Structure 1
Amino acid sequence: MNIGIGLPIGDPATLLTWARRADAGPFSTLGLLDRLVYDNPEPLMALAVLAGATSRIRVQTEVLLAPLRDTALLAKQAATLDRMTGGRLVLGLGVGGRDDDHRAAGVDLRSRGRRLDEQMAVLRRLWSGEPYGDGVGPIGPAPARPGGPEVLFGGFKPAAIERVARWGDGFLAAASPSWAGGLFETARGFWKEYGRDGEPRIVAQVNVALGPDEVIQQARATMHAYYTFTGMADRMVASMLTTPSEIRDAVTAFADLGADEVMLYCYGLDPAQVDRLADLL
């Protein structure tokens, strides 16, 4: 099973160090989350920089809030990054739930799911080289991967997970092993229902912090600030894994559930966590 690193958002200037260490280690993927009205780096731009500083590791949006973006421009940006990285882009997509993000982007929060479905129809068409439509021609460049970069969908409700089978290549589950198993099975069930070959790629995500107490406390504070809007920040922070045994047990549990990859998401800024996690694994 592959293990990836979810990058902290607190200081974009540190991310090159994180990326280079991860690229030199046993990790498969670099992940970066997305928000608009927040002090985080824009993920496609940041991952483009990190891809240029690395040679083999994949770069993944986790997840990109597609409804906030212009569809034609997103198609071009994703295809460009996929082409220039030799197919190393994984496009994790979701709808988001913050009203302020949607207001800033001029998008109706209530229609975000429908908008994502409409966007996927256009994205898939453009990545296949077809014209945009209404007298507008194709939008290049062609992605490295035929039909577009690998697309994962995150979400918890059946309507969100169904997109995995309808439009995607896999499922991104930000849930504990005790909860994730049911979500995995829902994704696999939709996959069969739609007559897709094989199985969806399953990617799990777990929040971790590994190091001295100051690293853990910083990670908890950053995560709490990020999730305050949910009203569940205390509970989410309490679930962060902070010991080698907890992290190993979670990875083993996800492997037993059939996950193909586990993303270890870090909120603490200390890049030495990459080396600690590599030693642990």
Structure 2
Amino acid sequence: MNTSIIPRWAARAEEAGFSTLASTGRYAYPGVSDTVALAAAAGATTTIGLLSAVLLAPTWPGALLAKEIAGIDGVSGGRLTLGVGVGSRADEFTVPGHGLRGRGGRLESDLATYRHVWGGGLVGDGPNPAVPSGTRQVPMLFGGYSAPTLDRMVRWGEGYIGGSLPVTMTAPSFEAAKRAWQEAGRQGVPKLVVLAYFALGDSETGRANIRDFYRMAPDDIAGNVVLCTAPEMIRQSIKDYTALGVDEIIFVPATDDLDEVTRLADIVT
């Protein structure tokens, strides 16, 4: 991937009228981390929403991530939504004391830390907060397929992110998210977001990139990742997910061809 394309991609997406730019980052893969990509996008744009879809939060020390996220949200003018995932692969967890084991419990503690830091709470035993006054509580969405994911969503979040899988596989997760929201007594409905990869130009390179990215994923995920390679596939995805009540579809590029922004915009805007 040509990482220098990120600011230009972000600016072109905003010019084309898209609603949101999203990152999909991993540590154990040759790419750019979520925080770097989102900061670059924030600096290159002024109005488009920003989303991590999803950031593997337990791989970070909680207070450090809270400050990073608050900073990106601040420089963007309050355009960031933090999409949170718990992670499942040991090679992503490289910080001493923040391994794969115990990640769910750490995330529970970290979510409280985020709120504390964003609310201007003091850092450790010192006299200072970690963030400037006026920092807001950054909205959070949660992605994953476990019951704890939905529990965290209704207690801490604004909604749910579904993965890049066929609608028949993701529909039950969206229904479960709406049901959990209602049972928890939350007002209204959760925001629902879904991911779908696309490669409208060089589809073969796109397929190869997706296979490489998911080569260590479980078979039920790797073998079912959605890749839209034609306009009718894009339109069908929009139709299917609109029928499910999904609020936003994030079309994730499978190549770094900048013209993909225009190709997608010609179909959906």
Q: Classify the TM-score, shorter chain.
A: over 0.9
TM-score (norm 1): 0.88
Shift of 1:19: 1.0
Q: 1:15 aligned to 2:6?
A: yes
Shift of 1:165: 0.5
Q: Which deviates more, 135-144 or 226-235?
A: 135-144
Q: Distance in 2 between matches of 1:230 and 1:141?
A: 40
| Secondary structure of the corresponding residue to residue 211 of structure 2 | helix
Shift of 1:105: 2.1
Q: 1:264 aligned to 2:235?
A: no
| Secondary structure of the corresponding residue to residue 102 of structure 2 | helix
Q: Distance in 2 between matches of 1:109 and 1:28?
A: 34
| Secondary structure of the corresponding residue to residue 27 of structure 1 | coil
Q: 1:159 aligned to 2:139?
A: no
CA deviations 1:174-205 (Å, max 9, x no partner) are 13221222111211122122221111111111
Q: 1:63 aligned to 2:51?
A: no
Q: 1:130 aligned to 2:108?
A: no
Alignment partner, residue 86 of structure 1: 77
Alignment partner, residue 194 of structure 2: 204
CA deviations 1:125-162 (Å, max 9, x no partner) are 22122335666653212465x4x112111101222122
Shift of 1:108: 2.4
Q: Distance in 2 between matches of 1:93 and 1:137?
A: 27
Alignment partner, residue 191 of structure 1: 181
Instruction: Provide the aligned length of Structure 1 versus Structure 2.
Output: 265
Higher relative contact order (CA 8 A, sep 6+): 1
Alignment partner, residue 7 of structure 1: none
| Secondary structure of the corresponding residue to residue 197 of structure 2 | strand
Q: Distance in 2 between matches of 1:164 and 1:231?
A: 24
Percent identity, aligned pairs only, is 36
Q: Distance in 2 between matches of 1:209 and 1:229?
A: 21
Q: 1:36 aligned to 2:22?
A: no
Given the superposition, is the C-alpha separation of residues 142 and 173 from structure 1 closer, same or farther in structure 2, using an over 3 Å criterion?
Answer: farther
Structure 2 unaligned residues grouped into runs of 5+: none
Alignment partner, residue 39 of structure 2: 48
Alignment partner, residue 169 of structure 1: 158
